[in-house]
Structure 1
Amino acid sequence: MTVIIDDATVRQTIDMSTAIEQLRSAYLSFAQGDIVEAARVNIPLPTGFLRLMAASWPSCGLAGYKEFHRCNGQVRYTYHLIDQESGENLAMIDANHLTALRTGACGGLAADVLARKDARKLGVIGSGSEARTQIEAIRAVRPIESVVIFSPRVERRESLASELRAEGIEARTADEPTAAVADADIIAVATNTGTRGPAFAGNWLTRPGVHVNSIGSTLPSQREIDEHTWSAVDRIVIDTALLLHESGDAIAADKAGFLDRERIALLGDVVAGVGRARADSERTLYKSVGSPLQDLALAAFVYRALEGRSESLAFLADYHQVAVMAS
């Protein structure tokens, strides 16, 4: 019997703080060699792409993969969870919210191990769902007192600021990106700039001790931060080594001679003990393209939290039964 878990059930089962701690545990396991990730598979389609991301967690007895595809501008995500011993297909999980949640949670985890403990001002470039989860995650690990948001679309940045103020957060918008980050202790760059070019420049990093999260530019053709950002920071942490060949930001920085591998560490190693940079005055960058272990960690938690509670599940179906997933 394969359990089918819809998006609404995922949202009810795991919150941001839980996701951050699940990813902390997963990255510790990864640093100890207990999680194996496969290289990401990207297949072009006439109207978009198909991507597969697989990982195995032997000590948990689980493996799985996320499939997501974009066709004519529409993106859908599904996670397939497998029992490694029996080979049983345990679950098919709508991974729409799961994907946004794990990206935000990894940003929160990175901020927790890299940003100054007294960080209170957050600057945000972006206004979509990824920007929202970055804000939520960073607020979960640092006592953020104010948020300043820039997005090219005025109505979107104003809407996000209004949502935050309704939650009791001091939030305002900026007309220029430099104004959003000028006084920030932590900067979250979460955009959909794609091939239009970088949304953040390294010469904006004028304050000592600032930490930057950048979670866009997941393909070689995409850009979010410019080449100079990589040389403007003292320490760089990435979520997967594959990023150096997959992200257009890293590729451009390497071509420009700004990619110093001696200053780059994996998030798993940092979580396992490397810690923050040597001094609070040092600037840090967390760059992410997403990784299979992130999806597996949260999918495993959701499945086990619901295991034995069929009344909480949206659907139950035999493996060969067709079911419609929420998009």
Structure 2
Amino acid sequence: MTETTVETTTTDTAIDFLYLSEPDMVAAGVTDMAACVDTMEEMFALLGRGDYRMAGKNSDSHGSMISFPEEPEFPGMPRHTEDRRFMAMPAYLGGAFHSAGVKWYGSNIENKLSGLPRSIHLFVLNDVETGAPRAVMSANLLSAMRTGAIPGVGARLFAPEDSKVVGIVGPGVMARTALQSFVVARPGIELVKVKGRSERGLNIFREWMEREFPQIRVEFVDTNEAAVRDSDIVTYCTTSGGSPENYPVLKREWVKPGAYLAMPSSVSLDDDLISDDVRLVVDNLGLYEAWADEFPYPTYASIPIVGCFFTDRVHEGKLAEERIEDIGRILASGGTERDPDQIVIFSIGGMPVEDVAWATRVYERARTLGIGTSLNLWNTPVLA
């Protein structure tokens, strides 16, 4: 009589994930700007080698957005207002991160009337092999810090090493986190010149500077020109919708030779600022190709990010495509020497791979420190 041996496989089907509230995120180091700048630099090198995926036909899309009509046809449907949208931003990032995730947020400018942020962000970090959630985390600080860290990566590569003066147009949250990263990259900064629109905003910025950087002098100025002139580092961090003719102005004649211009928002450049002696860098060429496909020319009217101004000029035959450099490819190739008198414009569009990178590092630290609340998805799935 022959015995039949039956092999059995035992698997653990239970899935637990970590919930991280905003206080948990702070405790896990989400506001550590120096570590965030290092993480973003590592992320860009992976992008330069191609070890990542985002959404869209070219795997480089910013994300998928729900917007609303000016005059809704159905009762209860939201009406379009400034920044009224829902958006999902998924990505995979390889290398030491080897993580996937998605940032999901709703946005409404009217939130400010009730004391809420304009956008409210949540991030889900997933296991790459199974797709199971590893963490669900509060993401407003995550998003703000990674956004601010990107200008600092550019400053490490392109800002004068002895930078002492920063010019800011638009002193909101984005400007504050960008300044944090500038100080990480160029700790010799002594003066910040600020052009704002409201006394309240300027007061908030002044109080923040007194807490965070009491060693740095702050000067409030009345014009964009005054903020830009004689500055080693310049950033425009405004919120501007509508036509590019209404974007805040930046002229070549104001810009100091060798200045680094970090642009995470809209700005109206004169043509002299895309002349052959100005270096034009973007955070990811594929991102702007995706935007040009999703929002056909003139893209800059729909997506107020300077790199879209560059691609519009390529479309018009006014700029050679090869003039636009990719920071990831620069880093992946080992960097490049900088002409000390060359102006550099760095366009910053924002990408979900940045969220994945910083979320992964914060999650790892939370696990190490025992921070957060473990939640159960299931022990055994009903529909397996």
Quick one: distance in 2 between partners of 1:252 and 1:62? Answer: 32
Shift in CA distance, 229/11, structure 1 to aligned 2, threshold 3 Å:
farther
Q: TM-score, normalised by structure 2?
A: 0.75
- Following the alignment from structure 1 to structure 2, what is the Cα–Cα distance between the partners of residues 155 and 204? 31
Q: Deviations over 1:233-283 (max 9, x none)?
A: 611111122235363344455256554422211121122236356411000
Partner of 2:347 in structure 1? 287
Residues 200 and 273 (structure 1), Cα distance of their counterparts in 2 relative to 1, 3 Å cut: farther
* CA drift at 1:184: 0.1
Q: Does 1:3 align with 2:18?
A: yes
Correspondences of 1:9-158 after superposition (within 5 Å): 9-12=24-27, 13-14=29-30, 15-38=32-55, 39=61, 40-45=63-68, 46-47=78-79, 48-59=84-95, 60-71=97-108, 73-74=110-111, 75-142=119-186, 143-158=188-203
In the alignment, the residues of structure 2 paired with residue 301 and residue 141 of structure 1 have an alpha-carbon distance, to the nearest angstrom, of 20
1:323 aligns with none
Residues 6 and 94 in structure 1, CA contact (< 8 A), matched pair in contact too: yes
RMSD: 2.3
Distance in 2 between residues matched to 1:276 and 1:121, nearest whole Å: 24
Indicate the residue corresponding to 2:216 in structure 1. Answer: 169
Residue 298 (structure 1) shift: 0.2
Is the 2:190–2:215 contact (alpha carbons within 8 Å) kept by the matching residues of 1? no
The count of aligned residue pairs is 312
Deviation per CA, 1:134-163, whole angstroms, max 9, x where unpaired?
A: 111101110211111001213322431343
Quick check: 1:231–1:258 contact (8 Å CA) kept in 2?
A: no
CA-to-aligned-CA distance 1:179-199 (integer Å, 9 cap, x gap): 111110110111112337212
TM-score normalised to structure 1 length:
0.87
Structure 1 residues 280-324: Cα deviation after superposition (integer angstroms, max 9, x where no partner): 1000011111011111000000111111544x21x332237xxxx
Question: Which deviates further from its counterpart, 120-129 or 202-211?
Answer: 202-211
**C-alpha separation in 1, matches of 2:200 and 2:123:** 33
List alignment gaps of at least 5 residues for structure 2.
1-15, 56-60, 69-77, 112-118, 293-298, 379-384
Distance 2:253 2:106 in 1: 35
Cα deviation, residue 71, structure 1: 4.0
Amino acid in the other structure paired with 1:141: A
Cα distance in 1 between the residues matched to 2:122 and 2:140: 7
**Of 211, 214, 228, the match for 1:181:** 228
